[in-house]
């Protein structure tokens, strides 16, 4: 399913709607270039999951944990990772088993991380304030 | 009081010995930034495993450089939050065993409190209360430091950190990683009005919150546009315009807060404090407003263990001591 948003808050709203339907254990792989709105989308996801803390970029921290909602949201950013073999070092497998949702920015850097049951969300910049967002797999697709 | 301190919350592994919270006896750091430069940006690093491999070596070296024996250590401090959990755990577990083996108290330290405490090492006379702007690759935070162990976040970034904005801008400009230094160098030859960049504004809610993702995205758009149209990119001009935009935001927010809260002393902490435009603008603004500026030297701005030892001393005095059940936390309020 493809959506177009025309503002950051539009992307956040889409993220919120999307996250409301996610089951525990869902893995959301986000793809797209710098400034495409991945972090904005995850901020929306947090709101949709009833989490109201600050959601900022995990580029340096690698993972932000948001625990204030009904289930945890683990916000990853693989921007600084060199490949899937570094997943072990950041404890990736441990997070999968913690009964929350994992949202992963820069998934293109860790092609080996996913097992095929992830939901892929692809971002494309189509104008200064326009983003085309394609969601593959998961509830909003059907 | 000699504190053996450890820091391992992200990329760096470090050990240090600090006397009475103010004097550095040794400060050993193992960093993976050198690797970054070889690989050109995105690299094998942050490995909890590599923290594990070097930490005991660093501890021995810190003692040796300090000229102390194990028996001369009075307490052990470590970063316990926030950070990449696997990495933080390495420091916490090592510090625990060290405290146990030496039969000395174990002191947990918040990483950002440590960055603020770097100022105590650089300025022996600085005492709270003061206002502190903590700016690094991962943090952009304005902190009301009321006491050594009593602080409140006044405002922070809603999206990207200031250092992240520099790094990602440097990448699209083809300047390599880490990008802070090359942007700073290049900006000195550029016109800071060459590009009209947005001033990141946060209009709803907290007046001290900041935003840098709009600035990052504007630089990305300018670089891509130049690429697509084959127009030459004025890199020095873009670097200078970027430094100006970031600096005006940081300095503006900080001076506003200092005025509103009536603070005479302003401290800056974290790696981005090295940026010469930000330094110069802070110096000018503080001179004009009659406030005193504190900026630690570069080697104390980045992640290091001496700052943990400094803060650890004041945590100890406040009675903040942990048992062998101390845990590591990915997130934690300051
Ligand atoms: N329709 C839109 N949706 C989302 N963001 C938009 C939109 N239009 C403009 N923007 C701007 O684009 C930027 C998106 O930044 P964001 O940090 O969310 O991107 P990102 O994909 O996470 O980047 P990075 O690769 O650095 O992690 C923001 O500055 C936002 O204001
Ligand atoms: Mg992002």
Point out the least confidently predicted range of A6-10, A85-89, B137-141, B195-199. Answer: A85-89
Judgement on whether residues B137 and B259 belong to the same structural domain of the protein: yes
B103 within domain boundaries? yes
* Rounded CA Rg of chain B: 20
Residue of A nearest to B330 (CA): A65
The answer, yes or no, to whether any atom of ligand 1 lies below 6 A from the CB of A36, is yes
What CATH number has the domain bearing residue B173?
3.30.420.40
B81 within domain boundaries? yes
Judgement on whether residues B31 and B177 belong to the same structural domain of the protein: no
Predicted confidence at residue B177, as pLDDT, reads: 84
Q: Considering only CB atoms, which residues of chain A are within 8 Å of chain B? A: 33-35, 39-40, 43, 54, 56-57, 59-65, 67, 79-83, 86, 89-91, 109, 128
- Rounded average pLDDT over B147-160: 96
User: Crossing angle for the helix pair B213-229 and B162-172, nearest 10 degrees?
Assistant: 10
CA A37 / ligand 2 centre spacing (Å) = 7
Judgement on whether residues B276 and B137 belong to the same structural domain of the protein: yes
Report pTM.
0.92
CA-nearest residue for atom 8, ligand 1, is A129
Predicted confidence at residue B199, as pLDDT, reads: 86
Judgement on whether residues B150 and B290 belong to the same structural domain of the protein: yes
- Rounded average pLDDT over B139-151: 97
Beta carbons of B245 and B198 less than 8 angstroms apart: yes
Question: B14-28 pLDDT, tens per residue?
Answer: 999 999 999 999 999
**Domain span at residue B249?**
128-295
Judgement on whether residues B99 and B224 belong to the same structural domain of the protein: no
Q: Tell me the shortest Cα–Cα distance from A49 to chain B, in angstroms.
A: 18
What 3 state SS string does chain B have? CEEEEEECCCCCEEEEEEECCCEEEEEEEECCHHHHHHHCCCCCCCCHHHHHHHHHHHHHHHHHHHCCCHHHCCEEEEEEECCCHHHHHHHHHHHHHHHHHHCCCEEEEEHHHHHHHHHHHHCCCCCCCEEEEEECCCCEEEEEEEECCEEEEEEEECCCCHHHHHHHHHHHCCCCCCCHHHHHHHHCCCCCCCCCCCCCCCCCCCCCCECCHHHHHHHHHHHHHHHHHCCCCCHHHHHHHHHHHHHHHHHHHHHHHHHHHCCCEEEEECHHHHCHHHHHHHHHHHHHHCCEEECCCHHHHCCCCHHHHHHHHHHHHCCCCECCCCCCCCCCCC
The model's confidence at residue B46, banded by pLDDT at 50, 70 and 90, is very low
Closest CA to A50 of A27, A75, A71, A32: A71
The model's confidence at residue A139, banded by pLDDT at 50, 70 and 90, is low
Percent pLDDT > 70 in chain A is 96
Decide if pLDDT at B58 tops 80.
yes
Judgement on whether residues B272 and B233 belong to the same structural domain of the protein: yes
B243 vs B201, which has greater pLDDT? B243
The closest-lying atom of ligand 1 relative to the alpha carbon of residue A36 is: 21
Question: A93-115 pLDDT, tens per residue?
Answer: 999 999 999 999 999 999 888 98
Question: B280-316 pLDDT, tens per residue?
Answer: 999 999 999 999 999 999 889 989 999 999 999 999 9
Cα–Cα dist B250/B265, whole Å: 16
Beta carbons of A125 and A2 less than 8 angstroms apart: no
The predicted complex's ipTM stands at: 0.93
Residue numbers in B near A90 (CB within 8 A): 46, 48, 84, 86
Judgement on whether residues B277 and B306 belong to the same structural domain of the protein: no
The model's confidence at residue B50, banded by pLDDT at 50, 70 and 90, is low
Question: B109-121 pLDDT, tens per residue?
Answer: 999 999 999 999 9
Question: Following CA atoms B236, B242, B244, B249 in sequence, which dihedral angle do they give, to the nearest 10 degrees?
Answer: -170
The count of structural domains within chain B is: 2
The answer, yes or no, to whether any atom of ligand 1 lies below 6 A from the CB of A12, is no
Please confirm whether the linkage preceding B80 is cis (ω < 30° from 0).
no
Cα angle B263, B265, B268; round to 5:
115
Judgement on whether residues B33 and B64 belong to the same structural domain of the protein: yes
Judgement on whether residues B52 and B95 belong to the same structural domain of the protein: yes
B64 within domain boundaries? yes
Predicted confidence at residue B36, as pLDDT, reads: 46
Beta carbons of B12 and B304 less than 8 angstroms apart: yes
Judgement on whether residues B60 and B103 belong to the same structural domain of the protein: yes
Judgement on whether residues B170 and B253 belong to the same structural domain of the protein: yes
Beta carbons of B36 and B180 less than 8 angstroms apart: no
B327 within domain boundaries? no
Predicted confidence at residue B201, as pLDDT, reads: 73
The model's confidence at residue B323, banded by pLDDT at 50, 70 and 90, is very high
Beta carbons of B4 and B70 less than 8 angstroms apart: no
**Number of Cβ pairs closer than 8 Å across A and B?**
93
Decide if pLDDT at B37 tops 60.
no
Decide if pLDDT at A8 tops 70.
yes
Closest CA to A80 of A102, A96, A113, A58: A58
Q: For a pocket test of ligand 1, which of A36, A55, A121, A134 has the largest count of ligand atoms closer than 8 A to its C-beta?
A: A36
The answer, yes or no, to whether any atom of ligand 1 lies below 6 A from the CB of A40, is yes
B334 within domain boundaries? no
Judgement on whether residues B307 and B281 belong to the same structural domain of the protein: no
Residue numbers in B near A40 (CB within 8 A): 159, 213
B332 within domain boundaries? no
The model's confidence at residue B200, banded by pLDDT at 50, 70 and 90, is confident
Question: A41-97 pLDDT, tens per residue?
Answer: 999 999 999 999 999 999 999 999 999 899 999 999 999 988 888 888 788 999 999
Cα–Cα dist B326/B329, whole Å: 10
The three-state secondary structure class of A119 is strand
Instruction: Measure CB to CB from residue A34 to each of B48, B159, B216 and give the nearest one.
Output: B216
Cβ pair B330:A86 closer than 8 A:
no
B328 within domain boundaries? no
B138 within domain boundaries? yes
Cα–Cα dist B275/B277, whole Å: 6
Decide if pLDDT at B40 tops 60.
no
CB atoms within 10 A of CB A91: 18
């Amino acid at each position: 399913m493809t959506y177009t948003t025309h503002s950051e808050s539009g992307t956040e709203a889409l993220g919120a709607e999307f996250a409301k339907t996610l089951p525990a254990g869902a893995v959301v792989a986000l793809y797209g270039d710098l400034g495409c709105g991945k972090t904005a989308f995850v901020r929306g996801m947090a709101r949709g999951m009833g989490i109201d803390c600050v959601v900022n970029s995990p580029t340096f921290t690698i993972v932000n944990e948001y625990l204030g909602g009904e289930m945890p949201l683990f916000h990853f950013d693989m921007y600084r990772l060199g490949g899937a073999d570094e997943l072990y070092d950041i404890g990736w497998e441990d997070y999968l088993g913690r009964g929350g949702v994992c949202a992963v920015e820069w998934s293109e850097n860790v092609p080996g991380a996913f097992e095929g049951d992830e939901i892929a969300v692809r971002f494309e910049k189509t104008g200064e304030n326009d983003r085309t967002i394609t969601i593959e797999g998961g509830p909003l697709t059907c | 009081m000699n504190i053996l301190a450890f820091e391992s919350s992200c990329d760096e592994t470090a050990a240090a010995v600090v006397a009475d919270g103010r004097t550095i006896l040794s400060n050993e750091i193992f960093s993976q930034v050198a690797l970054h430069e070889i690989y050109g940006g995105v690299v094998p690093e942050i490995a909890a495993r590599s923290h594990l491999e070097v930490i005991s070596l660093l501890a021995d070296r810190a003692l040796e450089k300090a000229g102390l024996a194990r028996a001369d250590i009075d307490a052990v401090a470590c970063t316990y939050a926030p950070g990449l959990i696997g990495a933080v755990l390495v420091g916490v577990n090592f510090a625990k065993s060290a405290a146990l083996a030496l039969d000395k108290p174990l002191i947990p330290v918040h990483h950002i409190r440590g960055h603020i405490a770097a100022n105590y090492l650089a300025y022996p006379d600085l005492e709270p209360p003061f206002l502190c702007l903590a700016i690094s690759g991962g943090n952009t935070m304005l902190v009301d430091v009321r006491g050594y162990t009593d602080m409140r976040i006044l405002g922070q970034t809603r999206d990207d950190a200031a250092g992240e904005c520099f790094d990602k801008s440097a990448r699209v400009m083809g300047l390599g990683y880490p990008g802070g230094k090359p942007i700073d160098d290049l900006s000195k030859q550029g016109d800071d009005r060459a590009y009209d960049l947005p001033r990141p504004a946060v209009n709803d809610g907290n007046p001290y919150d900041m935003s840098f993702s709009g600035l990052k995205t504007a630089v990305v758009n300018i670089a891509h546009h130049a690429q697509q149209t084959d127009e030459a990119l004025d890199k020095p001009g873009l670097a200078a315009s970027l430094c100006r935009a970031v600096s005006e935001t940081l300095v503006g927010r900080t001076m506003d807060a200092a005025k509103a809260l009536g603070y005479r002393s302003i401290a800056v902490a974290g790696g981005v404090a090295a940026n010469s435009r930000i330094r110069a603008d802070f110096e000018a603004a503080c001179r004009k407003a009659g406030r005193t500026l504190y900026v630690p030297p570069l080697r104390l701005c980045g992640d290091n263990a001496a700052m943990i030892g400094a803060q650890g001393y004041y945590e100890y005095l406040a009675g903040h001591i942990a048992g062998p059940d101390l845990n590591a936390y990915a997130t934690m309020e300051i």
